[in-house]
A and B are shown apart, each in its own frame.
Chain A
Amino acid sequence: MSMLAPLERFRLLQRRRLAAAGASKSILLDRFRLLRRRRLISLVPIVAIVIILPLLFSSAYYYRVAALVFLFGIAALGLNLLMGFAGQVSLGHAGFMGIGAYAVAIGPTAFGIPPVLSFILGALLSALVAFVVGRPILRLKEHYLAVATLGFGILLAIVFTNEANWTGGPDGMAVPQLILFNWPLRGAAVWYWILAVSFLVGAVIALNLINSPTGRALRAIHDSEVAARVLGIDVAQKKLMIFVISAVYTSIAGSYLALLDGYITPQISGFLRSIELVAMVVLGGMGSVAGSLVGAAVLVILPQALTLFDEYEHVVLGLIVMGVMIFLRAGIVPSLAAAFGGGRS
């Protein structure tokens, strides 16, 4: 009797939650079921887009914008694992972008480490940093977690700005080219393919993670930490694990950004960049892999499109962000999916 009580309570709770949570939650759950059934098939349209898009591109400019979409898609995907699946907010993820970026900048110039190795070391360093700061930070909840992660991101930005001997200070530093098998990676088209493939690999890993026992444990944490704990899930350990994975995704995106631009400034880990990443996740749709890419696409392409509005650019950008969140509350992809047939075919 007493042994059954927690389980029963959990089921009751789940049912109550489902009933009360309204549209957004049930969309998320539908989405999960869909993902479980379809798994990787859901990536087919994205693969198709990756192949078809270049046919429409008339210049390197398009390749660059599209490459940036996939790049920020990787970062948003990482943050989405943390926010959408584990329900933990982070306002400091750009800090990890900075670690990845400065790793490929400082590694080769100061220590003579080959760029490819620096790239990997950057991801490992981000994982280590996330592991060390994650445990205490993730004990906090909601807004307190938000301010703690915010502080973490700002701390890193301050370090990148002040340690000018290493980072070039606020003016930034040049990043050596990535050379693979004697072939220097340059040109927007090359980066388009690298980033598109990287995003797809990242998406496959994310989908597998979501559908693993760990993924189910994470969703339980998202719905109710207490219930998850009652079910015997090591909440702290799972949260830490997803935080580390999420940091690695973002760090890799940061390394790519540094290599793509060939130049970085501390803005890469600034507060505004962190906010932008969160906005990509929420706009595209929390808990949606495709949503991460759509969110990134919106925020990368909008500033290019809005140059039409000249000085009214920010007015329009603000209105669009507010409008999307008001009318497509669960994010663009889940909301549209629900509007056109509830995500089931």
Chain B
Amino acid sequence: MAEFLQFVFSGITVGAIYALVAIGFTLIYNASDVVNFAQGEFVMLGAMGTVFLGHAGVPLLLAGVVAVLITTVVGLALYRWAIVPAREADAVTLIIITIGASIFLRGVAEVVFDKGFHSLPALLGSNPIRLGGATILPQSLVVLAGAFFIMVLLWAFIDRTLFGKAVRAIAANRVAARLVGINTRIVVGASFALSAAIGAIAGILITPITLTSYNGGTLLALKGFAAIMLGGIGSAVGAVVGGILLGLLEAFAAGYVSASYKDAVGFLVILAVLFVMPRGLFGKATVERV
């Protein structure tokens, strides 16, 4: 029983990390249909930025805020200088552009920061919480809370504000949105900025557990991408549920099947889910427009 509980805790720890990374994909996708392959680099920039500002003597809280702001600007720049000029290019072209951006950002981080691994102190200390013979670190709960908090904010933002309505309008029909007077550039640009900020915050929160390095964002983003596909792309709730499910799956696979094949189990389940529900668990069924 204690073992089972420990696997659950491990699953929640890892799942919350995936969820927090995954949720960053949501807004950009809703506003522009782009799956941003540079999302992992936003996560890395937030974390590495905080670490290095901290090294430079900036108090950590302030360092975190500045790192999030810098990442936000990077997100805006990505939109302005890479996505806008490519305007109506098709999805694969846009994906390659964001992959180019991710190579570029990693390259910059490699020069500006360094190639080592770094960590940040945990918010609530590192004394494990004991429960029923199993343990979990307080930081895991912080990450989980962060994921839920951002999920609720995002939901409220998209469902309850004028901006959110604009995002949904653009997602439904870009030309029509423009016709009714929505400035698509500002709305989509803001989505990139917000997604970058969410990524940076995620990076800062998860680094006490995952550690960070200049190329640490890529694989996290891969797992985040898998998580949103499991949950259903475009849905904030789907991203969080997908992330936590994926984490639990991996933990149970490592505990009861084989640690070597835990990633394989994760992907197999995603494939199985997609075969039954081709748009993920929470994806909206859309009618194909011809």
For residue B290, CB closer than 8 A to chain A, the reply is yes
8 interchain pairs, CB-CB under 8 A: A147-B270, A152-B267, A312-B107, A312-B111, A314-B110, A315-B107, A315-B108, A319-B104
Q: Which of A121-162 contact B (CB under 8 A)?
A: 136-137, 139-144, 146-148, 150-152, 154-155, 158-159, 162
For residue B92, CB closer than 8 A to chain A, the reply is yes
CA distance A320 to B82 in the complex (A): 12
Q: Are B267 and A155 in contact (CB under 8 A)?
A: yes
On B, residues with C-beta under 8 Å from A are 35, 82, 85-86, 88-93, 95-97, 99-108, 110-111, 222, 225-226, 229, 233, 260-261, 263-264, 267-268, 270-271, 274-275, 278-280, 288, 290
Told that A136-B275, A158-B260 touch, could you supply 12 new A-B pairs with CB distance under 8 A?
A24-B89, A136-B271, A144-B233, A144-B278, A154-B263, A162-B260, A317-B107, A318-B102, A318-B103, A325-B93, A325-B100, A326-B82
CA distance A140 to B230 in the complex (A): 13
For residue A226, CB closer than 8 A to chain B, the reply is yes
Q: Are B93 and A282 in contact (CB under 8 A)?
A: yes
Looking at chain B's contact residues, the main secondary structure is: helix
- Minimal beta-carbon separation of A275 from chain B (angstroms): 6
For A153, the closest partner residue in chain B by CB is B267
Residues of A in contact (CB 8 Å), total: 50
A271-304 Cβ-contact flags toward B at 8 Å (1 or 0):
1000100110011001000000000000000000
For B290, the closest partner residue in chain A by CB is A226
Q: Are A318 and B104 in contact (CB under 8 A)?
A: yes
Looking at chain A's contact residues, the main secondary structure is: helix
Q: Are B267 and A151 in contact (CB under 8 A)?
A: yes
Contact of B96 among A142, A278, A316, A319 (CB under 8 A): A278
On A, residues with C-beta under 8 Å from B are 13, 22, 24, 83, 89, 136-137, 139-144, 146-148, 150-152, 154-155, 158-159, 162, 224, 226-227, 271, 275, 278-279, 282-283, 286, 311-322, 325-327, 329
Question: Which residues of chain B are within 8 angstroms of A142 by Cβ–Cβ distance?
Answer: 91
- Minimal beta-carbon separation of A172 from chain B (angstroms): 17
